[in-house]
Amino acid sequence: MRVLLIIILASLIGTCSTPPPLLDQILETGELRVVTRSSPTSYSVSPDGPTGPEYDLVRAFAEDLGVALLMESVDSVSEIIPLILSGQAHMAAAGLTVTDSRREYLHFGHPYESVDVHLIYKLGTGRPRSIEDILDRSIEIVASSSHVDILEELKLDYPELTWTENADVEFADLLTKVAMGEVELTVADSPDFNIQRHFYPDLRVALDLYVDDQIAWAFPRRNADSLLARADDFLISADRAGMLNRVHERYYGHTKKYDYVGTRNFIRHYESRLPRYRAMFEQAGEEWGVDWRLLAAIGYQESHWRAGAVSPTGVRGIMMLTQDTADYLGIDDREDPANSIAGGAQYYARQTERVADTVGEPDRTWMALAAYNVGFNHVKDARMIVEWQGGDPDTWVDMSAALPLLAQRKWYSQVPYGYARGWEPVLYVNNIRAYYNILIWLTEQEEDASAEEPPADGPMEAP
């Protein structure tokens, strides 16, 4: 009995012992488990693998720790906290806003981004200009989001304020519902709105409900101080090194400029002009290993998909090839759509090959597009300027800052190929990025609709 008692006491003592700090556990197992959110502003899986601003940052953090990254993606914000509290995830990198209600369960690290919180409506439905204007209108928001806290705080001053919380949708889904007229109003953070307005140009900001809302990684309240401190050190260093700026540019750079009329025209031309050239873009893309939608985006930027387009400088056709470029590519008729598109695809592919091997995607694509526009030699000159300034010439964010300097005597007088209207390739790339993203969205919508359609001869009956 005495031996049994000793065994029981030893077992109890072992059970009650304090576990090692969370950071030590991660370093011991060699794994960092992170919960994130399926969203354009957090994490998604593309044909080339995982992507998203949160993924880029937390992957770099895992590399800094020297451990493997294991990410679990959830569809709802409400799923995140339980995974942290249960210990299934060591931390959350999901674009979470720091709120008092979340602080009851989580610790937040150093804020690495701030967003504005907008009340969104559809153009033509009447813009609310005050909280009083929305008291009798339908509002739907994402359940368990920080937007619930904001509306609850407003309700203290406006008791008549009501809304619906939906746990089965993402922020992009609600913006779509507003655009489709299914919901009158919703609440969205500025990054989500800036992306979705390119797809739904009638979305508008009615009111700013909150400005500079802080975004941060989240950690358990117990035993995670060392992990949180290490994450803070990483993010502060990443900010100083320009990494946060590069990640922001990669995913949001093209959303800064928005042209309502231009976006509506693009979507209309997608339906009216692109169909007669789409097969040509697809064939050229397959031949030269380029996403046909990127080629189509170049074609729209160049000519708005007009085969007979001619510029004041003499470039012609859908892809606006110069005579020298056409001769170089062996193209006789620049205004023939098939020839022009095939030539543009070949020329773009060659620019991509000329970009330094040290440049990764998507920066490689943006630099190749800049070379398509301004010429590869001027891109080389911009790389020199970035190096002189102590920047990283393998990143588009530094290159996009250097290219406009080619129009300043101080800089173009020092580089081999001289003056260039260097601001033009930056605008060119941003426009194509916006068109490309819209094309991806439109074609994915087509695929989803096609998958939902029953067979032409009707549904099959079960045997």
Condensed to tens digits (0 to 9), the pLDDT of residues 73-132 reads: 998 888 999 999 999 999 999 999 999 889 999 999 999 999 999 999 999 999 999 999
| pLDDT above 70: percentage of residues in the chain | 91
Q: Where in the chain is the domain with CATH 1.10.530.10?
A: 260-444
What is the torsional sign of CA 141, 212, 258, 396? negative
State the DSSP H helix or E strand holding residue 436, giving kind and residue range, or none if neither.
helix 423-452
Average of per-residue pLDDT across 140-153: 93
Whether residue 371 has pLDDT greater than 80: yes
Domain 114-211 part of CATH 3.40.190.10: yes
pLDDT band at 207 (very low <50, low <70, confident <90, very high): very high
**Residue 11 confidence (pLDDT):** 45
Q: Are 443 and 293 a contacting pair, CB within 8 Å?
A: yes
Q: Are 263 and 201 a contacting pair, CB within 8 Å?
A: yes
Tell me how far apart the alpha carbons of residues 92 and 54 are, in angstroms, rounded to a whole number: 10
Q: Are 430 and 256 a contacting pair, CB within 8 Å?
A: yes
- Supply 140's token pair: 């739907």
Whether residue 4 has pLDDT greater than 50: no
Whether residue 453 has pLDDT greater than 70: no
382-411: buried (b, 16+ CB within 10 Å) or exposed (e) per residue? bbbbbeeeebbbbbbbbbbbbbbbbeeeeb
The better pLDDT of the pair 198, 412 is held by: 412
Residue 76's region, left for phi above 0, alpha for psi from -120 to 50, else beta, is: beta
Tell me how far apart the alpha carbons of residues 388 and 381 are, in angstroms, rounded to a whole number: 11
Half-sphere exposure of residue 298: CA atoms within 13 angstroms, side-chain side: 31
Whether residue 459 has pLDDT greater than 70: no
Q: Where in the chain is the domain with CATH 3.40.190.10?
A: 19-112+217-253, 114-211
The third-level CATH classification (topology) of the domain covering 19-112+217-253 is D-Maltodextrin-Binding Protein; domain 2 (3.40.190)
Q: Give me the DSSP letters along 124-180.
A: TS----SGGGGTTS-BEEETTSHHHHHHHHHHHH-TT---EEESS--HHHHHHHHHT
**Residue 6 confidence (pLDDT):** 38
Four-way CATH pick for 260-444: 1.10.530.10, 3.40.50.1700, 3.40.960.10, 3.30.70.3000? 1.10.530.10
Q: What is the pLDDT of residues 410-421, one digit of tens each?
A: 888 899 998 888
Q: Are 76 and 144 a contacting pair, CB within 8 Å?
A: yes
pLDDT band at 33 (very low <50, low <70, confident <90, very high): very high
- In terms of residues, how long is the chain? 463
Q: What is the number of other CB atoms lying within 10 angstroms of the CB of residue 235?
A: 21
pTM over 0.85: no
Tokens 């990669």: give the residue. 250
H helix intervals, 333-408:
337-354, 363-374, 376-388, 396-402
Average of per-residue pLDDT across 277-282: 97
CA nearest neighbour of 293 among 273, 272, 274: 274
Whether residue 463 has pLDDT greater than 90: no
Whether residue 262 has pLDDT greater than 80: no
Whether residue 276 has pLDDT greater than 50: yes
Contacts of 282 (CB under 8 A, 6+ apart): 292
What residues are annotated to the active site?
302
| pLDDT above 90: percentage of residues in the chain | 63
**Residue 427 confidence (pLDDT):** 85
pLDDT band at 17 (very low <50, low <70, confident <90, very high): low
Q: Any idea which of 23-27, 71-75, 129-133, 355-359 has the lowest mean pLDDT?
A: 71-75
Read off φ and ψ for residue 275, nearest 5 degrees: -50, -35
302-316: buried (b, 16+ CB within 10 Å) or exposed (e) per residue? bbebbbebeeeeebb
Whether residue 162 has pLDDT greater than 80: yes
